[in-house]
Amino acid sequence: MLLDNKTSGHVGIELKKHTFSGSKLSVLSSLFTLYGFASLKHELKQLESARIIFSEWDSTNLQNLVGSDSDVRLLNQLQQKRIASEFSQWLANKAEVKASVRPQPGQNIIHLGATEQSFAISGSATLSPTGLGDVRCDSLHMNIGLSDLESTRQLLTWFDNVWADAQNLRDIKNDLIAKLDAIAVDQSANFIYFLTLFHLFKDFLEDIDEDNIIRSKTGFKDTLVWSKLYKFQKDGVLGAIDKLEKHNGCIIADSVGLGKTFEALAVIKYYELRNDRVLVLCPKKLRDNWTMYTVNDKRNLLATDRFNYDVLNHTDLTRPKGYSGEINLETVNWANYDLVVIDESHNFRNTPSKAEGKSRYEHLMNDIIRSGVKTKVLMLSATPVNNRMNDLKNQVAFITEGRDDAFAEQGIKNIESTLRLAQKQFNKWVSEPVEKRTTAALLDIMSFDYFKLLDIVTIARSRKHIEKYYGTEDIGRFPTRLPPKNIYADIDASGEFPPLKEVNKTIRRLSLAGYSPLKFVREAKKAEYARRYDKAVGAGKGVFKQVDREESLIHLMRVNLLKRMESSIHSFTLTATKLAQQVDRLLAKIDAHESEELSELNIEDIHDFELESTELESYMVGNKTKVLLQDMDLIRFRQELEADREFLSHIAKTAQSVNAGRDAKLELLKKTIASKVANPLNPGNKKVIVFTAFADTAQYLYVHLAQWAHSELGIHSALVTGGGTNKTTMTGLGSDLNNILTAFSPVSKERGKVDPTATTELDLLIATDCISEGQNLQDCDTLINYDIHWNPVRIIQRFGRIDRLGSKNTQIQLINFWPNMELDEYINLEARVSGRMVLLDISATGEENVIDENAKDMNDLEYRRRQLQQLKDAVVDLEDMSGGVSITDLTLNDFRMDLSGYMNDKARLATLEQTPLGLYAAVSIDEDMVADGIKPGVIFCLKNIRSGKEAVQVDDNYPLAPYFLIYVTADAEGSTVVELNFTQSKKILDLLKREAFKHKVPDQPAITEVNRMTRHGCDMSHFQHLLAVAVDSIAGKSEEKGIESLFAKGGTVLTATSSQGIEDFMVVSYLILTAVTQGTEGQGERDV
């Protein structure tokens, strides 16, 4: 009888027909799989005994035991755990199993013998779904079925001789049972997580092998700086070195308070150990943070590592001569640095700084990165992906030396096009109603090549990310943030000074004509001055007019006046008085005809502009203008100056009458500090930081608080404003910034190691934003914002000084001082005073253009109102404040590092390589997960097993193809929702990771619940349904992406075969999330 599993009979059917109770089975086959067993289970259980010889046996390849791509329909029934258990029991009870010492491919015999009759099959048939004919396949099957006694007896005799050949066979029964038990055993979420990562990244295993990333002979892991890093920081350092080696650059964008400086120091040390020259570029105010580690000083906690890098300020890049520290800027060899580390790298925007000469950006790009030796660039930035994709473009350009095709091999054909499209998609998202503007919605519409670009160049982790996915056992906890306290302060305790609203009207009337001489140039001469001072931008595609720049400066001056008024009456008085004096001098100059030309007033003469801060950089472009008096309309100019003089004189005189005794806000601050000292948040902790945006306010506060605090409260105070004006009430401490900060936060600054005898501490620190970044002051538990900086991000950065990992404080407090008015009224004040600003910004085309801007940052009133309301209600993370999406939502680097660390144990790697597809774990949903919106359901990792035109057609830059992660939920009524689809793989992996580190052993309550629901694996229909929903969502989502691409450059990804079914996907692994319910076996509600 011919059996071809097609038209002339099926092997499986014949075997079932000829198996009788008490039969004996003898098999020689290359395969005996789970689903082969499942197909014949009923018949096999009737046998008296079985002898099985595997003609080929690979004890390391368990997938052969489970099945191949052709068995996908059976594999997707999700029953392999139960079947493996039953197969193992059957073998233990009924079978003997041997394997050929040398593979004997192609020989397959099946013999069934009973008392009265026997049946045999010889040919290509294996005990697998394809061999039995349960699954159709294209290969040819040729088998002969024999039932005459003579033929079957001859075959059995031949089999008996083979079975008796001890030299060529070995017993593998225990080995086979152990392998089946490994498939049937309950798995932990931890193992399923690493198994999933292994499949996602196995093609890049060499890339993520730690030994391949760092050269072991450097002694890098023996350094002090490496030993001081937490696990997540070590992951970040390895990831950064990997990116620097592969792509020549990396942006570390970890959140505030996660120790980017130490990560960068570790990277620097690695390259110094390779004898590379390193340059650190940082804002001037952060200089001491970096130079401290290069000097032979007791306070240098890393002195034994002997750091030897150079430190320059960002502003040094545009200084042609002079000294920065000990470096002569005229003779420094800019082209000789192997690694450049840029702190606060988002400060480098490609803005024109002046009509002649190079900007910082141009100097860094052309003289350091492109010149001389090949330069790697490490950038540090706490700014999340914000609404200006151009900021990212400029930072990526340092890595690629400006080449838009630098990542073509990685699938990003053009960096600028990628970011331009991302900007369009982001703008579209921003235009949605607030309730639709979710991170999920943004991730859904963004193109994959943007994610890929971020993945190539960035390492970014948020505070939440570290807490959730690294656990806090070894890294300590963040302190609990108490809700902010909001204090509403009047200006004048006597009520004589006009309210802020009235003062603001006067500020708005000021023309500040001295800052915009071009505005008064006569019509006939305007073209001449435009030629002299206007600046081409965007490769000549736009013009930034000097007259627009001057107008913006005036708006900035008005904002500055309002913010100073809000900060302190003292600061406001100083500025109003200085402005009045400037106007007087200008009028005198015109009257005396002292000069034939008039210079624009220098904004730096009005103190307290942070000229390094990114917020002001756009306005500081262009030259100081000089205008001939004969070219001006002097009558109109004089009129506006005289009007200003009148307003300024009056307001300055009124303000001068409000002294410290009448300062209502100062009095409230004293009460707040006294209350905190008397009632510490944490036992014995009296420490308070008071932040203000203005040095004048800080000095005023120190004058009126320092002695009071010492005599009334018994605490020492210090003033830190940068620029050598630091002061303290502690004798012998001096004005050195690091000495003051060490005395204020001795535990975090490890003072005990430097000076074990020092016991006196500072408890009140009054500071400007010179220490709002890069400082660890976590001994303190209370931070007061004496004024609200107009960039709310700065508030979060300030709080990051005390809101840090490993804090000794269990709780911390933010206190905000606000003007005494409603939030909406306050925002409207700001809006009216700021007017319409002309910003150098990015338009929807992605080109640099000068646009009249009324809907960004300060002018986006609703956006600003939401930000400030957030600040009042809670302390938020920077990534939550941006109103956009954090880089931490997008990069996969951490997962690669997890896998790399796991695979350092070669035995674990071997286990992953041998483990078959289709395993699962179950975990119970705890309260934390419920709070985060996690619902009962399944996370599937699926592999598309079709190739070419039959494969799922997704964006070429989808990073995980052919793998897809889907999180599907189901409620008690049975309705299903795709909670996270494959476009949000990062979030799914985050969830998997969180559960993996929580469940390093199987979760027994969850396993019991799944067994209850499925009758110990007999009824997997619920999970099969969720799998079908997951597959449908992939096909639907890829089609949707295809339709989007119809309208994109380069055409569509839709094909005629884009419809996919469940047999096009293989289940790699899955995690069941279950809410454990009460109930007896087989009863109770379904809750997954």
Between CA 693 and CA 698 the distance in angstroms is 8
Question: What would the DSSP string read from start to end of 745-806?
Answer: STTTTTHHHH-TT----EEEEEE-GGGSSS---TT--EEEESS--SSHHHHHHHHTTTS-TT
Given the DSSP bridges, would you call strands 278-282 and 339-343 parallel, antiparallel or unpaired? Answer: parallel
108-113 and 24-29 beta bridge pairing: antiparallel
What Å distances lie between residue 484 and 487, 785, 804, 815, 881, CA to CA?
A: 10, 11, 17, 6, 15
pLDDT of residue 1058: 37
Q: Are 124 and 133 in contact (CB under 8 A)?
A: no
**pLDDT at 603 > cutoff 60:** no
For 797-856, write each residue's pLDDT tens digit.
888 899 987 788 999 999 999 888 877 777 776 665 554 333 333 222 222 323 233 334
The DSSP letter of residue 712 is I
Burial class (CB in 10 A: 0-12, 13-18, 19+), 462: buried
For residues 296, 300, 302 and 305, what is the CA-based torsion angle, rounded to 10 degrees? Answer: -10
Query: Is residue 470 over pLDDT 80?
Result: no
Whether 354 has a pLDDT exceeding 60, the answer reads no
Residue 962's contacts (CB-CB under 8 Å, 6 or more residues apart) are: 943, 944, 945, 951, 952
Give the whole-angstrom CA distance, residue 94 versus residue 100: 20
At 280 the three-state DSSP class reads strand
Per-residue pLDDT averaged across 580-590, rounded? 87
Q: Which of 538-547, 795-804, 895-904, 1017-1026 has the highest mean pLDDT?
A: 1017-1026
pLDDT exceeds cutoff 80 at 111: yes
Report the C-alpha gap between 466 and 472 in whole angstroms: 8
Report whether 341 contacts 281 (CB < 8 A): yes
Q: Span 611-628, mean pLDDT?
A: 50
Is the pLDDT at 886 greater than 70? The verdict is: no
Amino acid at 595: S
Question: 976: closest CA among 932, 1024, 1012?
Answer: 1024
> Helix 823-834 to helix 546-567 angle, to the nearest 10 degrees?
150
The residues near 643 (Cβ < 8 Å, ≥ 6 apart) are 509, 511
User: pLDDT by residue (tens digit) across 405-440?
Assistant: 999 888 788 888 888 888 888 888 777 776 777 766
Model confidence band, residue 889 (pLDDT cutoffs 50, 70, 90): low
- Give per-residue pLDDT as tens, 686-735: 999 999 989 999 999 999 999 999 999 999 999 998 766 899 999 888 88
Confidence of residue 684 (pLDDT cuts 50, 70, 90): very high
pTM for this entry: 0.72
Tens of pLDDT along 221-259? 899 999 999 888 998 999 899 999 999 999 998 887 788
Q: What is the 3-state secondary structure (H, E, C) of 351-380?
A: CCCCCCCCCHHHHHHHHHHCCCCCCEEEEE
- pLDDT bin (cut points 50, 70, 90) of residue 513 is confident
More confident residue, 531 or 826: 531
Report cis status (omega within 30 of 0) of the bond before 962. yes
Four-point Cα dihedral 367, 372, 373, 378, nearest 10:
0
Q: How far apart are the first and last CA of the chain?
A: 50
Distance between CA atoms of residues 415 and 425, nearest Å: 15
Contact criterion met (CB below 8 Å) for 162 and 26: no
Q: Could you tell me the pLDDT band of residue 532, with boundaries at 50, 70 and 90? A: confident
Longest dimension (CA), the chain: 133
Q: How far apart are CA 10 and CA 134, in angstroms?
A: 8
Q: How big is the CA angle at 483 (ends 479 and 489), to the nearest 5 degrees?
A: 125
Helix axes 664-678, 695-708, angle to 10 degrees: 50
3-class SS of residue 719: strand
**The pLDDT of residue 850:** 30
540 contacts: CB under 8 Å, gap ≥ 6: none
Per-residue tokens: 110: 């099946």
Instruction: Summarize pLDDT for 130-155 with one digit per residue, the tens.
Output: 889 888 877 778 899 999 988 999 99
287 band by pLDDT with thresholds 50, 70 and 90: confident
Amino acid at 871: L
Structure tokens at 878: 């920077």
Cross-strand bridge partners of residue 841: 849
Between CA 673 and CA 719 the distance in angstroms is 15
What kind and span of H or E run contains 630?
none
Q: Which alpha helices (DSSP H) does 926-1020 contain, by range? A: 927-931, 985-998, 1004-1014
Q: Which domains does the chain have, with CATH numbers?
A: 2-185 (3.30.870.10), 210-462 (3.40.50.10810), 480-486+661-874 (3.40.50.300), 498-656 (no CATH), 906-1074 (no CATH)
More confident residue, 1023 or 630: 1023
pLDDT band of 446, cuts 50, 70, 90: confident
Please give the share of the chain, as a percent, with pLDDT higher than 70: 83
